[in-house]
Amino acid sequence: MQNPYNFVGVLILAAILLPVVGLGVAWLVRPHKPNPIKKSTYECGIEPIGETWVQFKVSYYIYALIFVVFDVESVFLFPWAVAYNRLPLYAFLEVVIFIAILFFALIYAWRKGALKWL
Amino acid sequence: MTNFIWLAIAFPLVGVVVNGIFGRKLGRAANGWIAVGTVAAAFVVGVLSFLQVPSLPEHAQIVPLWRWITIGDFEVYLSLLVDPLSMLMTLVVTGVGLLIHIYAIGYMDHDKDVARFFTYLNLFIASMLILVLSDNFLGLYVGWELVGACSYLLIGFWFYKDSAADAGKKAFIVNRVGDFGFALGVFLIWTTFGTLQYTNVFEAAGDKPVAVITAITALLFVGAIGKSAQLPLYVWLPDAMEGPTPVSALIHAATMVTAGVYMIARSNVLYALAPQTSTIVAVVGGVTALFAATIALVQFDLKRVMAYSTISQLGYMVMAVGVGAYASGIFHLVTHAFFKALLFMAAGSVMHAAHDVIDMRRLGGLKAKMPITYWTFVVGGLALAGFPLTAGFFSKDEILAKTFEANIWLYAIGVFTALLTAFYTFRAIFMTFHGKPKDAEVYEHIHENKPVMTVPLVILAGLSIFGGLLGLPGGLGLPNWLDGWLEPVFELKNMFVPAEAVHTGVGTEVGLMALSSTLVILGIVAAWWVYLRKPQIAEKTAQSFAAGYKLLANKYYVDEIYDALFVNPARGLGVFFAKVVDMGVIDMVLVDGTAKSVGYFGRVMSRWQTGYIRNYVVSIFVGAIVIGAYFFLR
Amino acid sequence: MVPTPYYLLLAAVLFAIGAGGVMLRRNTLVILMCVELMMNAVNLTFVAFSHELNDMTGQVFVFMIMTVAAVEAAIGLAILVELYRLTRSVNIDEFNSLKG
Amino acid sequence: MVEQIVFFIFTILVLGGGIGVITTKNIYYAALFFSASLSGMAGYFVLLNAGFLAAVQIVVYIGAIAILILFAIMLSRRMMTTKEQQTNRQTWLAAIASFLLFVALLGVVMQVTWPLSAEKHADNVLVLLGMSFLGSYVIPFEVVSVLLLVSLIGAIILARDIQTEEGRE
Amino acid sequence: MTAIEIPALNFAALLPLFIVVGTGLLVVVLDLFIADKKSLGWLSLFGVILAAIVGNMQQGGAGFDPAFQNVSLLDGYANFFNIIFLSTAALSILVALGYLGRVGLHRGEYYALLLFATSGMMAMGMATDLMVVFIGLETMSIALYVMSALNRHSRPSGEAGIKYFLMGSFASAFLLYGMALTYGATGSTNFSDIGSVLTAGTVAPMAMLGLGLLLVGFAFKVAAVPFQWWTPDVYHGAPTAVTTFMSVGAKAAGFATLMRLLMVSFPAFAVDWQLAIAVLAVLTMTLGNVAALAQKDVKRMLAYSSIAHAGYILVGVAAATTEGIKSVLFYLLIYAFMNIGAFAVVGVLEQKEAIGTKLTEYAGLARKNPWLAMVMALFLFSLTGFPPLAGFWGKLYIFRAAVNADLTWLAVVAVINSGVAAFYYLSVIVQMYMKPAADDAPEILPSTPATRIALAVAGLAVVLIGILPASLVDMVAKGVFG
């Protein structure tokens, strides 16, 4: 039973149990008297205006895009790091080319102002 | 210089391009001189390579140009052949062509469409050179067709004149009939030999069955009949006189019509291996010579007389190559080119001076007014008739000598035709230049032409006299340069056919020459007697042999027979097809039908293109399933 | 030890669901998700075969497919955003002005 | 025995998620179902001895792509509320077609005699992965970087706001 | 675990690819700093030509060992395709230089995307492993999705992008599934290994289905029926400069990989896929030609005509002989010049958005701009297959390959189709030469020098190959079989 994934299983189990148990017990014990005022969305006490969903700025979306690209890049570097000692020297050169190309991507994104958050 | 021979073709083509595109802007004079310049350049190239030929290994060199078509094993190379025969022809074509171009500048100076004329003329020279210089039958065929097309364009040059347009059409159609046979011959060569190169075909000719060779040569001869206006496909040549005179001189005297003779001479190996075809060729040649000469007797249009005389002389050449005397055939071709071109141009200068009047009955007594034209015309006439020591005499006599050895009956026809030739030639001379001017109005404004027209006449007259030196009769121990020159081309056939060893003794040679010269002189005197001394004899003989005369006058009603046999039924059939089949069946059912149905399908298909992505996705999905299932269940 | 055909079967079902989804839904985003599902099904097939054949190429291929899936998602959504700005809708059926 | 149960759980996750994506009206829920299905898939990878792939699946697929789709959903928020008919008339056609595909794939899987090979499974998967990446499959490795660059440029050109773009030019 | 030995890497073989990618990177960086986009265009053109020269020089090298163990192979076949791709790229850049400015689309990134797409195609051409094929295909497709959606202000362009994207990803899912099944059946993703396993072993049904699905993926890329629905809409919607590049590049890359795959890895199933491709060919030709008849818009008509041409090329592929491959290579090069020329002319005539591409708007072009009309007529005649021009020889060699592989019925169908095709090509020429110019017709903007060079080069190529087909056939034969 010393399968390394047991720990992962236990961890997932704990992750699911904690919120479920917390909310579940609260949901069971609290009194249930709904009235319209209580039901309305709370916005610092003043009357909520417009849609609940606020206008979404595009730059957030672009930020997510860039995250995807560089996330995938990092994943690719993982096996290289692990197998570094077994690989001949020019493997290092290949990875340098890989990173260089994506460095261009970074410069492009940065110059085009995609990284500005606000 | 020989491997730049393709320049000879390229120069005229340059002329075609320059005159063709920039013609109008350049102005008439420039057009003329550009055309003359290009032909002159071609002539210079021809002469230079002509001089180099003897130094070539066995006198021949193939100049490859580029690889034209490769479809599987059918490889066609465009390459030119430089050898004695092709060089000789090049010189004739470019040399005579040059003189005619110069003459044409004068002749066409008041015509408004000169650019187009010189473009066609240059194109003709280029295509004739392609025909002559090509080293394979396909090149020959291409040249053959191009030359036919040029003759159509040039005959129908004054297309606004109905007669000219009809003549052009007639020439083209009759030529096409001949070309049909020629094309079949080329295909047959290709199927039997697997190649069209002259050298390969002639080397392999020996071991092919004689029947096939006979078939090939017969088919090729059909082409020659069409192109060189032999019986029965000669009808287009007389009508071709509708074209401007330089055209008649160049195409219908010196070059194009001789293509048939050149072709037979070039494929001498095949004809040597097919004796039956050769005899047919000789007989057709002889009969045509006689037939045309008889018609020429009664013609009143000076150019038509010359046309029939060309047919007759071509008959001689065909007879010569028929009996195996290729060298003498070519010799007569060369000399004929000189004096016939001269006669046509002289007739043309008469026409030019008399404002397009060419009917001999209205001309007369021009001797005083046009001395140069008159004397050059006489020299040409003497050469044509075969007066002793002129070029015509030596070449015609050599043919008669060779025919004498081969077939006595053909010799008889040949000699009698020589007599008729002398008669009608001098009939024409006496009626136009001697005697009293019959039409005062025409006569009074006749004047000698400008030097640009007369100088070529004088040059050609010189050639007509000294042309004979090319091939003095070998029998008398005199040097026959031409035989020697053409020997390498024709010696290949000796491998297959033992050269006829028999040589007429010196005595018979002299005897034959004496006989033919007496006949010629007799002919001239008879013509003088009938037309100058007692003009009324002509009318009397005409009445007495009324029937015979009418027959000849109407050219044996050949045109009428052809119309009845071929032309009208063909036109009728055409009308039928046009009306019933074409309108009814094809237009209604097939063409419109398919167009509508295909159009309908088109609209259906484009409606399927709905623009909704989900329809597209479903079709991809279904397609994938169908293909998957297909592969899966295999 | 779960035998491999189970995985292949499962992958086939998921692929079919994904394909069905692409044909079914009108919202482009959902279609995009379905395509990603199909890609996932293929990944599963590859890993199952790699596990079965005991050869690494399968897993390397899955790596590639994942990056391509990520890139496709990024580009697909970018084009969708551009169209959304023009047409204020992500409903696939509204994108049919090109036809005939 | 434990493996069968775990396999069963993951199957529920994957297929449930898949069907969920297709059927829910609300696309926000569709995104959630989608993530569930992806996590189930990660579980499978663990079972098939491709641990690193499971990690990559979670990090890249759920962590990046699902989030990206969520961002997109947030961007076109208007769709969230309207409940118009999400599916089109092709429901039946899609169902039949997907079933047919499933049958074809089923047929194939049935025919192959299993198992093909039963050697012991390697343990150092990650090292082998690294070596193959930089060894025989080095061209795909480099072309992937070009692919990522292209996608970044493309995404930025298309998605950038028109105002900012005019401002920058 | 099989130990993976690291191969001696042969970077020299990849030089052309490196040059193209390098130029792309350079253009990306420079675009950030300099405002004049045209110079970027000329820079990328220089890069493409340099790559072509280097590619040719290398190919001659004796003992040219395949690059990268057996993942990709730069042999004669790949090098000939490199020539096609690079010449397409060069001509497309020239057309773009003229066209983009007018449509307000002038961005440096366009040229970078074009170069990266070309590098994707070259990777596909060289690929002998399913993975390289997939990655190359995706790089090319992604770049093309972005390029077709590039015009942010025009809805058709956006729609073209989204349609091409969705259909593309859907079809590549099927392609992947096919690759997975083939990998499962044969245990390797390398073409030659697959081939050897299949010829040796019994016929595995999984490999058959794998081949089927692969065929689906490539049939989509090459726009064969029933997967060609996207082509008319996308070609019509996308900016003309992109359509020019896309219509030739993507198709040629698809054919390059399809043929290498079929001939190297699936000879064992030759009988099966030969019939399948023959059927696809017939469907594609017929639908392409027939649908084109009903078109009112020249650009859309050319899209359908490119589908029809894919059908003709499929005939060559169906022949499944080395002669078939040679004829397809020959045809693709000619098709590249003809098609780019035709689309370039459409580009010159196109005004803002959809004005200027309607058939009626071509009326009387011969009077307004005789040179343009003449060049367009030249391309259309060549597309129909009139004898003296290159198109005729291309079709001739393909039909001959089909007849020699005793698929005579296929050749007959193809000839009939060419007949039908003549109708809609000539209808354009009729509009140009015989119809009077409509007085309200849009005035033609002067074409820039770059487009004129492109038209001249394409026109010259079409005529020259027409007159001297033999020399090009030798080059192809030498190229493919070294």
Separation of alpha carbons B347 and B107, rounded Å:
12
Separation of alpha carbons B208 and E40, rounded Å:
69
Q: What is the identity of the amino acid at B17?
A: V
- Asked if residues E317 and E380 have their Cβ atoms less than 8 Å apart, the reply is no
Classify residue B127 as exposed, middle or buried by CB count within 10 Å of its CB (0-12, 13-18, 19+). buried
If you measure CA to CA, which chain B residue comes closest to D97?
Answer: B622
Q: What is the DSSP string of E79-94?
A: HHHHHHHHHHHHHHHH
Separation of alpha carbons B598 and B591, rounded Å:
10
Structure confidence at residue E112 as a pLDDT band (50, 70, 90): very high
Q: What is the identity of the amino acid at D36?
A: A
Classify residue B579 as exposed, middle or buried by CB count within 10 Å of its CB (0-12, 13-18, 19+). exposed
* pLDDT number for residue D113: 56
Q: Which of D77, D152, D161 to mutate to test binding with chain A, by most A CBs within 10 Å of its CB?
A: D152
* pLDDT number for residue E313: 93
Tokens 């000699």 correspond to B415
pLDDT tens profile E271-297: 888 889 999 999 999 888 888 888 888
* pLDDT number for residue B479: 67
pLDDT tens profile E408-429: 888 888 888 888 888 888 888 8
Q: Give me the residue from A56, A78, A95 closest to D75, CB to CB.
A: A56
- Asked if residues B322 and B285 have their Cβ atoms less than 8 Å apart, the reply is yes
Q: What is the DSSP string of B496-517?
A: TSPPP-----HHHHHHHHHHHH
Which among D147, E353, E159, E168 has a CA at the least distance from the CA of C80?
Answer: E159
Compute the radius of gyration of chain D from its Cα atoms: 21
Task: Give the H/E segment covering residue C35.
Answer: helix C28-53
Task: Give the H/E segment covering residue B69.
Answer: strand B61-71
Residue ranges of chain B whose pLDDT lies below 70? 1-2, 59, 66-76, 441-443, 445, 471, 473-479, 492-505, 534-535, 537-538, 542, 544-547, 553, 556, 581-591, 634
D120-132 per-residue burial string, b: 16 or more CB within 10 A, e: under 16 = eeeeebbbbbbbb
Q: Is the pLDDT of residue E360 over 80?
A: no
Chain C interface includes A76 (CB < 8 A) = yes
Residues 169-208 of E with CB under 8 A from D: 181, 184-185, 187, 204-206
Task: Please indicate whether, in this complex, the C-beta atoms of A61 and C77 are within 8 angstroms of each other.
Answer: yes
pLDDT tens profile C15-63: 988 988 888 888 888 899 999 999 999 999 999 888 888 888 888 899 9
Let me know if chains A and B touch, i.e. at least 3 Cβ pairs under 8 angstroms. no
Structure confidence at residue E4 as a pLDDT band (50, 70, 90): very low
Among B547-551, D134-138, E193-197, whose mean pLDDT is lowest? Answer: B547-551
The number of C-beta contacts closer than 8 angstroms across A and C is 20
* pLDDT number for residue E358: 75
Compute the radius of gyration of chain E from its Cα atoms: 21
Residues 78-117 of A with CB under 8 A from C: none
Task: Please indicate whether, in this complex, the C-beta atoms of B609 and C96 are within 8 angstroms of each other.
Answer: no
Q: Is the pLDDT of residue D74 over 60?
A: yes
Residues of B in contact with E208 (CB under 8 A): 631-632, 634
Structure confidence at residue E64 as a pLDDT band (50, 70, 90): very low
Q: Which of D22, D93, D99, D103 to mutate to test binding with chain B, by most B CBs within 10 Å of its CB?
A: D93
- Asked if residues B397 and B405 have their Cβ atoms less than 8 Å apart, the reply is no
Classify residue C69 as exposed, middle or buried by CB count within 10 Å of its CB (0-12, 13-18, 19+). buried
- Asked if residues E230 and E97 have their Cβ atoms less than 8 Å apart, the reply is no
A53 phi and psi angles, rounded to 5 deg: -85, 115
Tokens 């970044």 correspond to D152
Which among B91, B2, B3 has a CA at the least distance from the CA of B47?
Answer: B91
Task: Please indicate whether, in this complex, the C-beta atoms of B629 and D93 are within 8 angstroms of each other.
Answer: no
Residues of C in contact with D88 (CB under 8 A): 24, 26, 93
Instruction: Name beta bridge partners: D87.
Output: C25
How many angstroms separate the Cα of B203 from the Cα of each of B75, B187, B362? 19, 18, 58
Structure confidence at residue E355 as a pLDDT band (50, 70, 90): low
Task: Give the H/E segment covering residue B68.
Answer: strand B61-71
Structure confidence at residue E59 as a pLDDT band (50, 70, 90): low
Which among B277, D147, E303 has a CA at the least distance from the CA of A76?
Answer: D147
Residues of D in contact with A68 (CB under 8 A): 60, 64-65, 68
Among E194-198, E341-345, E360-364, whose mean pLDDT is lowest? Answer: E360-364
Residues of B in contact with E295 (CB under 8 A): 602, 606
Give residue E220's domain range.
11-477
* pLDDT number for residue A41: 66
Which among A57, D23, C42, B295 has a CA at the least distance from the CA of E184?
Answer: C42
Ranked by mean pLDDT, the top range of B22-31, C90-99, E260-269, E310-319 is: E310-319
Report the CATH fold assignment for A6-112.
Methane Monooxygenase Hydroxylase; Chain G, domain 1 (1.20.58)
For chain D, the domains span 1-80, 124-169
Mutual angle of helices E240-260 and E108-126, in 10-degree steps = 10
- Asked if residues B339 and B392 have their Cβ atoms less than 8 Å apart, the reply is yes
- Asked if residues E111 and E27 have their Cβ atoms less than 8 Å apart, the reply is yes
Q: Kindly list the partner chains of chain C, i.e. chains with 3 or more CB atom pairs below 8 Å.
A: A, B, D, E
Q: Kindly list the partner chains of chain D, i.e. chains with 3 or more CB atom pairs below 8 Å.
A: A, B, C, E
pLDDT tens profile B404-419: 887 888 888 888 888 8
pLDDT tens profile E24-37: 999 988 888 887 77
Task: Please indicate whether, in this complex, the C-beta atoms of B617 and E470 are within 8 angstroms of each other.
Answer: no
Nearest Cα of chain E lies from the Cα of D13 at a distance, in angstroms, of 22
Which among D47, B130, B385 has a CA at the least distance from the CA of C51?
Answer: D47
Residues of B in contact with C26 (CB under 8 A): 614
Q: What is the CATH class of C4-92?
A: mainly alpha
Instruction: Name beta bridge partners: B301.
Output: B359
Chain E interface includes D12 (CB < 8 A) = no
- What contacts B145, CB < 8 A, 6 or more positions away? B179
Q: Is the pLDDT of residue D115 over 60?
A: no
Q: For chain E, what percent of residues have pLDDT higher than 70?
A: 88
pTM equals: 0.69
- Asked if residues C92 and D87 have their Cβ atoms less than 8 Å apart, the reply is no
For chain A, the domains span 6-112
Q: Kindly list the partner chains of chain E, i.e. chains with 3 or more CB atom pairs below 8 Å.
A: A, B, C, D
Domain D1-80 is found in CATH 1.20.120.1200: yes
Task: Please indicate whether, in this complex, the C-beta atoms of A73 and D148 are within 8 angstroms of each other.
Answer: yes
Task: Please indicate whether, in this complex, the C-beta atoms of B611 and C96 are within 8 angstroms of each other.
Answer: yes
Please work out, in degrees rounded to the nearest 5, the angle formed at the alpha carbon of residue B558 by the alpha carbons of B557 and B562: 120
Separation of alpha carbons D82 and B232, rounded Å:
94
* Residue E1 located in a structural domain: no
Tokens of E264: 């190297």
If you measure CA to CA, which chain D residue comes closest to B612?
Answer: D88
- Asked if residues B186 and B238 have their Cβ atoms less than 8 Å apart, the reply is no
Classify residue A22 as exposed, middle or buried by CB count within 10 Å of its CB (0-12, 13-18, 19+). exposed
Residues of C in contact with E232 (CB under 8 A): 98
Domains in chain E, number: 1
* 3-state SS string for E214-242: HHHHHHHHHCCCCCCCHHHHHHHHCCHHH
Q: Which of C37, C72, C92 to mutate to test binding with chain E, by most E CBs within 10 Å of its CB?
A: C72
- Asked if residues E52 and E79 have their Cβ atoms less than 8 Å apart, the reply is no
Separation of alpha carbons E128 and B221, rounded Å:
61
- What contacts E208, CB < 8 A, 6 or more positions away? B631, B632, B634, E269, E272
Structure confidence at residue E6 as a pLDDT band (50, 70, 90): very low
Task: Please indicate whether, in this complex, the C-beta atoms of D38 and C40 are within 8 angstroms of each other.
Answer: yes
Among E5-9, E38-42, E105-109, E390-394, whose mean pLDDT is lowest? Answer: E5-9
Residues 97-156 of E with CB under 8 A from D: 107, 109, 112-113, 116, 119-120, 123, 129, 131-132, 135-136, 138-139, 142-143, 145-146, 149-150, 152
β B74-82/B61-71 pair status:
antiparallel
* pLDDT number for residue D164: 45
SS3 content of chain A, % helix, strand, coil (to 5): 65, 0, 35
Chain D interface includes C95 (CB < 8 A) = no
* pLDDT number for residue E65: 45
* pLDDT number for residue B186: 85
Which among B602, D146, B231 has a CA at the least distance from the CA of E17?
Answer: D146
Residues of D in contact with E4 (CB under 8 A): 128, 131-132, 135-136
**Mean pLDDT score of chain E, rounded to an integer?**
83
ipTM more than 0.85? no
Task: Please indicate whether, in this complex, the C-beta atoms of D93 and B618 are within 8 angstroms of each other.
Answer: yes
Separation of alpha carbons E171 and E248, rounded Å:
19
Classify residue E76 as exposed, middle or buried by CB count within 10 Å of its CB (0-12, 13-18, 19+). middle
pLDDT tens profile E124-167: 988 888 999 999 999 999 999 999 988 888 888 888 899 999 99
* pLDDT number for residue B390: 82
Nearest Cα of chain A lies from the Cα of E79 at a distance, in angstroms, of 24
Chain E interface includes A112 (CB < 8 A) = yes
Residues of E in contact with A107 (CB under 8 A): 29, 32
